A and B are shown apart, each in its own frame.
Chain A
Amino acid sequence: MIEHRDDQGAKLGMWLFIFTELLLFGMLFVVYAVYRSMHPEAFRIAGEELDVTLGTINTVILLISSMTAAMSITAIQKGNKKLCLQLLGITILIAVIFLVNKYFEWGAKFEYGFYPGSPELHELGYGTILFFGLYFFMTGVHALHIIIGIGLFIYVALQVKKDKIHQTDHVWLENTGLYWHLVDLIWIFLFPLFYLIH
């Protein structure tokens, strides 16, 4: 039986999905831009509450995970299954570390009494409420994408292990990689806009 496959079509489909994701986050960035232009001082002061060190660490490790994800595709294309699985393992590990950092970061905010709808935030005025509302929502939706990415990578790694994804059929791995780079792409903008406000 001849197997029918359209890798170009599969990739185009993934890209169309990525466009919807870009517009979803894009519109959140528009909301951010409008509210920041209305409350520049409050956003600046609230931004200083965020942990730049933790934010930078997460940026760096996410960039590294993007590289390992891209490298896993090269590995499978060269027929190096073992290296591909190792690289996928590193990518998953980094994704988990990212979430652990996020947990501590959010936890520290909650301890200060900064969480959506908290009485402390209420006293600090609209600008601060809007900043933290957007911060929790946007990094939250981003973190959700990280969790989905981990699930996808685990699935893909299992398929590689079972030789369902191999040297000549790896579009699943490529599309998962594209999804992961999208997650990285969003973070590239989230990081300066929330952690590095001046």
Chain B
Amino acid sequence: MSEEKTHIVPYKTQVIVLFVLLILTGITVAVTRLEFGALNTLIAMLVAGIKATIVLAWYMHLKYEKRLLPMLVAGVVILFLLVLFVTFFDYSYR
């Protein structure tokens, strides 16, 4: 049997999280209509990153877990960014 009490996320919190996510979605779509050049993609990825963090923290309960899981997730994100960096490093000097 599980020995410890699991944290119950209130319905209200989940509704608030949804509204924040929907607002951020609205922002991404709206920003597309403005002209920022290369910045557009950067802004879109920044907003997507914030949305992803919110989903990970609240819906995927990382906020309420022990430290191990958030650290592992951060590790995977860093690994991905490293692969992206190394790949571009390779392609830029061909």
Question: Does any Cβ of B come within 8 Å of A115's Cβ?
Answer: no
CB-contact partner of A3 in B1, B45, B48, B76, under 8 A? B1
CB-contact partner of B60 in A19, A178, A191, A197, under 8 A? A178
Shortest beta-carbon distance from B48 to chain A in Å: 5
Residues in B1-34 with C-beta less than 8 Å from chain A: 1-2, 6, 8-11, 14-15, 17-18, 21-22, 25, 28-29, 32
Q: Is the CB of A196 within 8 A of B56?
A: no
Q: Is the CB of A56 within 8 A of B29?
A: yes
How far apart sit A197 and B32, CA to CA, in the bound complex (Å)? 8
Q: How many interface residues does chain A have, given as a range?
A: 35 or more
Chain A residues whose C-beta falls within 8 Å of the C-beta of B44 in the assembled complex: 192-193, 196, 198
Interface segment out of the listed A67-75, A140-148, A149-157: A67-75
How far apart sit A77 and B10, CA to CA, in the bound complex (Å)? 11
A-B contact count (CB 8 A): 116
How far apart sit A37 and B38, CA to CA, in the bound complex (Å)? 11
Q: Is the CB of B40 within 8 A of A60?
A: no
Show 20 A/B contacts (Cβ-Cβ < 8 Å), sorted by A: A5-B2, A7-B6, A8-B2, A19-B72, A23-B76, A33-B84, A33-B87, A33-B88, A37-B88, A56-B29, A63-B25, A70-B58, A73-B9, A177-B59, A185-B56, A188-B48, A191-B28, A192-B45, A196-B44, A198-B35
Write the residues of chain A forming the contact surface with B, with a CB cutoff of 8 angstroms.
3, 5-8, 11-12, 15, 19, 22-23, 26-27, 29-30, 33-34, 37-38, 52, 56, 59-60, 63-64, 66-67, 69-71, 73-74, 77-78, 168, 174, 177-178, 181-182, 184-185, 188-189, 191-193, 196-198
